Amino acid sequence: MAATAPLKAKDFVSDLDVRWCPGCGDYSILKNIQKVMPELGVPKENVVFVSGIGCSSRFPYYMNTFGFHTIHGRAPAFATGIRISRPELSVWVVTGDGDGLSIGGNHLIHTIRRNLNLQILLFNNRVYGLTKGQYSPTSREGMLSKSSPQGSIDHPIDPIALALAAGATFVARTIDVNAPHLQEMLHRAHAHEGTAFIEILQNCPVYNDNEWHELEDRKTRVSSALALANGEPLVFGPMGNRKGIRIHDGVPSIISLADGDDPISHGVATHNEAHHSASYAFALASMARPDFPVPIGVIRAVEKPTYEAMLQTQIDQALEQRGPGDLAKLLHSGDTWTVE
């Protein structure tokens, strides 16, 4: 194999003009993914982006890789077919809160459940952007929108909790404009064997501006986000107003800490990505504004056999027990008779 020049971010930029609205969080996500791709060590031709329908799902057009812009909600199912057929490909599903959790909820659940070795990036802007501003399954109760002029009467669902309930082996949350954090999550997701689900909090400036302002703004995020680090205590807040999270009976609570306090000895929980019980991760997932800081980082990362690996084991077993298939033998198996 001839030595090829190392890949750069611009190798992943397609020749199509990007058509998201000015100020859309998707620009930042795109740029960061284009930066991370060359760092993953995957040949460019082996990368496939699969999307559904929505602003999020325009993503593949802007990546100079193989891409498949499919149908609303169904990207995980297409991606499953690709992974089962060609497990050597690096498959990235891009979806949104509408595409992935409304019409696509079922496929998301089952793809995660099966632990296909792929990455699912869900851009959550809490609104339907492409169709111009309806409320979505993650919109807050009471949200005023085109289709809810008197306020949404839906109770929203939390993507992290849903992924955990589906048995996700890797769940993370990050923020569109927090470049270092987003890049780190992408690296972690790629390294994970199994389904890696990342919720990316994303701003839609036209239909739901500033939904995540508290978490995007450098000044306020120290109090409103809980940055997770494996093995480290769950602490947040600025110096002078430090706080910690205790978890008792699966229920989180906040305690205040003086600047010199050792959090662990005050009962603050230590983050364990690989906690043997998903209950711990569910406790993290339950933490939401305004009462709690929003956990960002890797919420859960455990090892479980992937669908592709188990399928390959069965293929190997079948070959060992029965030998490669012989069509003539098959057609003549069982009872046959010959007419002279």
Partner 1 sequence: MADPKKRIEQVERVAIRFAGDSGDGMQLTGTKFTESTALAGNDLSTFPDFPAEIRAPAGSLAGVSGFQIQFSSEDIRTPADEPDVLVALNPAALHANIEDLRPGGMVILNSDAFSGKNLERAGYDGDPLPALEDRFRVVQIPLTALNREALKDLKLSTREKDRCKNFFMLGLMYWLYNRPMDSTLRWLESKFRGDVFEANQRVLKAGLHFGETTELFPVSFSVPKAKIQPGTYRNITGNQALAWGIIAAGVQLDRPIFLGAYPITPASDVLHELARYRHFGVKTFQAEDEIAAASSTIGAAFAGQLAVCTTSGPGLILKQEALGLAIMTELPVVVVDVQRAGPSTGMPTKTEQADLLLALYGRNSDSPMPVLAPCTPGDCFTIMIEAFQIAVKYMTPVTVLSDGYLANSSEPWLIPEVDTLPRSKIRYHEDPTDFLPYQRDQDTLARPWAIPGTKGLEHRIGGLESEVDTGTVSYVPENHEQMVQLRAAKVARIAQDIPAIEVNGADTGELLLVGWGGTYGAISTAVNEAREDGLDVSSVHLRHLNPFPSNLGDVLSRFRQVLVPELNTGQLSRVLRAEFLVPAESLSKVQGQPFKVNEIRARIDLMLGAGS
List interacting residues with partner 1 (CB under 8 A).
Answer: 14, 16, 43-46, 48-50, 60-61, 63-71, 74, 77-82, 84-86, 88-89, 106-107, 109-110, 311, 314-315, 317-319, 321-325, 327-328, 330-332, 334-340
CB atoms within 10 A of CB 267: 14
CB of 96 to partner 1, least distance (A): 16
Measured between its terminal Cα atoms, the distance across the chain in Å is 57
With a CB cutoff of 8 Å and minimum separation 6, the contacts of 115 are: 167, 169, 194, 195, 304, 305, 306, 307
150 or 321, CB closer to partner 1?
Answer: 321
**155: exposed, middle or buried (C-beta count within 10 Å: 0-12, 13-18, 19+)?**
exposed
CB of 45 to partner 1, least distance (A): 5
Residues 61/67, Cβ–Cβ less than 8 Å: yes
CB of 325 to partner 1, least distance (A): 3
DSSP state of 299: E
* Both structure tokens of 20: 């998201």
CB of 309 to partner 1, least distance (A): 14
144 or 318, CB closer to partner 1?
Answer: 318
Q: How far apart are the C-alpha atoms of 60 and 51, rounded to whole Å?
A: 7
105 or 151, CB closer to partner 1?
Answer: 105
* Both structure tokens of 58: 């325009």
Taking the CA atoms of 75, 78, 81 and 82 in sequence, report the sign of the dihedral they define.
negative
Residues 131/75, Cβ–Cβ less than 8 Å: no
CB of 274 to partner 1, least distance (A): 28
With a CB cutoff of 8 Å and minimum separation 6, the contacts of 313 are: none
77 or 201, CB closer to partner 1?
Answer: 77
Long-range Cβ pairs for the range 185-193 (8 Å, 24+): 185/297, 185/298, 186/32, 186/33, 186/36, 186/119, 187/36, 187/39, 187/40, 188/298, 188/301, 189/119, 190/36, 190/40, 190/90, 190/119, 192/301, 193/117, 193/303, 193/306, 193/309
CB of 164 to partner 1, least distance (A): 18
87 or 151, CB closer to partner 1?
Answer: 87
CB of 97 to partner 1, least distance (A): 20
77 or 245, CB closer to partner 1?
Answer: 77
CB of 205 to partner 1, least distance (A): 23
69 or 246, CB closer to partner 1?
Answer: 69
290 or 324, CB closer to partner 1?
Answer: 324
